[in-house]
Amino acid sequence: MFARAILLFLAASGMGGACWAKDIPHLTAEQWREDVDALVAGIETKHRDPWNFVSRAKVEQLADEAKRADRVEDHAMVVALQRIAAAIGDGHSFVAVSDRYARYPFEVSWIEDGFYVVRAAPAHAAMLGDKLVAIDDVPIEKATEKLLDLVPRNENRWHERHVLAGLLTQAEPLNALGVSRSLRRAAFGFETADKRRYDRRFAAQAPADRPGYVTIGPGGRPAAYEAARGLRLRMLGDVAHLDFASYHALAADSPAIWAAIDTAKARALIVDFRKNGGGSLPAGRQYLVYPAWERSQLNREGCLFVLTGPATFSAAMTNVTDMRRETEAILIGLPTGANPNGYQENGWFSLPNSGLRVSVAQRRYRFDAPGTTAVMPDVPVEQGIADWRNGQDTVLNTALSRAQDCTRRSLAAE
């Protein structure tokens, strides 16, 4: 049984009674049981189609396992709640806990054949580009098998890998699911480009203690997600590159950015959705899709490009389908992490004792042909680990090469 197994594991590791992450609620066993029941009830009454991917009996089984624990570890109960919500199957149904979890001082992404370090605290920059192969002597294949209990399984395989990458450096899930032996520390095994194996032991950092990371590539750069704004413009010669990382401040920033594109007389446009996890679908249409559509000098075959990847989710995925339908954009990169024919729109409620917020999907959409599980690129491009290590953005370079062909044709026609 899940909860009992967690408790036995923690007792054996000497972590019984510990609640290190201060933002994890501290409740009695009865209070946790009430929250488990409230979670199941909320899912049943508020989700658009709660039992479309999973049976009610299966969810009740998971709930019973969580409630039968004789002793309660708070962080393990939070993970148990997360597991119940993940079983619903869609990426918009979850317990909002990631900002409460302690993290180890690096991040990984799935690249080619495994999980590689792509960001790290400056003190650990030497690990950038190395492959994660074990956690506390648990092979990474076994670790991800355990963590799959926290991954919604009905988006697609690209989304699964993206979510797993985040879980692999979160202290509470690793400990609660029996991957790491301690809640506060873990030993991680890595493999270098020349296949040399080494281990590093790290202390987990509190949720608020997140240093400025550097990214893979020569010299390292500040991590892209640390940017204050979600829409940024770079002019690469006559080509405008719009890095659309989030919907934050989109309405405020969009007019000036489009004015700058017009002033620069851009001849081609690349809109980069690869880091965008979603936001306001209507805002994306109003401030990004339609402005691209109405600029005839950019909205031409071979002159407009959209970059996609596994982190492209929710409204970002939908706005990618808008770009494909409404404009002459060519999609380049990897498939989106969101299923275009699935459930979206967050409906929120709170659990009575812990106060944890829960999202359930409110609407069902069909943005692509039946049977489609991702928005597939017109030009598939996967950036290999060698290019990551050398700081080469293969996907952007592919789009830029084609965009420059467009600018040359434009100049020749003048």
DSSP string, 24-55: S----HHHHHHHHHHHHHHHHHHSSSTTSSS-
C-alpha–C-alpha distance, residues 308 and 316, integer Å? 9
- The pLDDT tens digits for 38-63 are 999 999 999 999 999 999 999 999 99
Query: For residue 71, what pLDDT band results from cuts at 50, 70 and 90?
Result: low
**Check whether domain 108-166+178-215 has CATH 1.10.150.120, yes or no:** no
- Mean pLDDT throughout 68-89? 91
Q: Which parts of 121-230 are beta strand (E)? A: 131-135, 138-139, 185-191, 197-203, 214-215
User: How many helices (H) and strands (E) are present in the chain, helices listed first?
Assistant: 13, 16
User: What CATH number does domain 227-338+374-405 carry, 1.25.50.10, 3.40.50.720, 3.90.226.10, 3.40.50.2300?
Assistant: 3.90.226.10
- Asked if pLDDT for residue 5 goes beyond 80, the answer is no
Q: How many alpha carbons fall within 13 Å on the CB side of residue 129? A: 22
Sequence letter at residue 94: F
- The pLDDT tens digits for 382-399 are 999 999 999 899 999 999
- For tokens 């039992």, the residue is 51
Domain spans in the chain, listed from the N-terminal domain onward? 2-99, 108-166+178-215, 227-338+374-405
Q: What is the pTM assigned to this prediction? A: 0.89
Integer-rounded Cα radius of gyration of the chain: 23
DSSP H helices, 18-170, are 29-46, 56-67, 74-87, 140-147, 157-167
* Cα separation values, 178 from 67, 138, 168, 182, 266, Å: 19, 9, 12, 9, 53
| Exposure class string for 167-191: b at 16+ Cβ within 10 A, else e | bbbbbbbbbbbbbbbbbeebebbbb
- The pLDDT tens digits for 221-249 are 554 434 456 899 999 999 999 999 999 99
For CA atoms 329, 335, 341, 343, the dihedral sign is negative
Average pLDDT of the chain, as a whole number: 90
Over pLDDT 90: what percentage of the chain? 83
- Asked if pLDDT for residue 306 goes beyond 90, the answer is yes
Q: What phi, psi does 226 have (nearest 5°)?
A: -85, -5
- Mean pLDDT throughout 93-117? 95
> Which residues on neighbouring strands pair with residue 346, listed in sequence order?
361
C-alpha–C-alpha distance, residues 48 and 53, integer Å? 12
Question: In this predicted model, which residue has the larger pLDDT, 414 or 273?
Answer: 273
- Asked if pLDDT for residue 204 goes beyond 60, the answer is yes
- Mean pLDDT throughout 92-106? 93
